[in-house]
Structure 1
Amino acid sequence: MENTPNERPFLLSKDILDTSNSFAWFFMDAFWMLGLNVAGLAFIVPTVLTGLGLLYIEKRPAVFRINLAINCWIWMNTAWMLSDALGRPGLLVWAKAMFAAGVFFILAALLCAGGLRETFSHFRRFRTPRWLNDNA
């Protein structure tokens, strides 16, 4: 695969990896919502693996921090699902810790990048409007 200078070599391109992650995550949550718990739990594996791949591939500090936040979000969802499925309330504490860590990494990305637009332009699940500039 051809990588940009901001990416480490990886089996899949960043775009394919990101799309695969979104697809797996969408179905993980959808199956859980629909009460298809086994299918939802099965989609934890590709969601986590593609999330870790995104974390590995990126070299830019601000984008890396956003990917850390995304991985915290994935682990938050995973811990919450496992807490419900296994009846283990301790996992819900882990989910809350992942939420806090994700917020921390978003704030760290903001400080590193110097602005909202630069930070969130790499957060594919949260695109900023064109009219939003770094002064907002």
Structure 2
Amino acid sequence: GKYVGSKIIGNYSKIKTKKNNIKFEPTKSAYAGKENPIGKKFEGIIRFVTPVFKNGKKVGFLSLALDHEHIMQFTDTINPTSKNLVQDIVDAGSGNYAFMWDSKGRNISHIRDYFISGYDENSGKRAMPWISK
């Protein structure tokens, strides 16, 4: 899916945007659990494809397109160290959350959607997710 970024890391607040000389527009930045509950959610699909064989000859392919939301439900609602495993909204600021990586070391699910590896909508190339300097 399209990369969804944020110019504010951590709690998206009027104080932080003013300090960084940025207009306060939380709905235009990435969703980040309690830090930005009204931000834009990452949207995409994960495609699984496998060849189909009949009598040893490849006759086609079987494809499944999984809505990325299904993957994100594993990380966006889980509190990994609590007795109450499932929660409505995660607080990434607590450091107590789950995330997922793919086989190539890319983040595919995180409570802070600006960490999720996505694509640049203009070039079609993979966009660099947020990293610290």
Assess same fold via TM > 0.5: no
Q: When you count strand as a share of all residues, which structure comes out higher?
A: 2
Q: When you count helix as a share of all residues, which structure comes out higher?
A: 1
Larger Rg: 2
* TM-score (norm. length: structure 2): 0.25
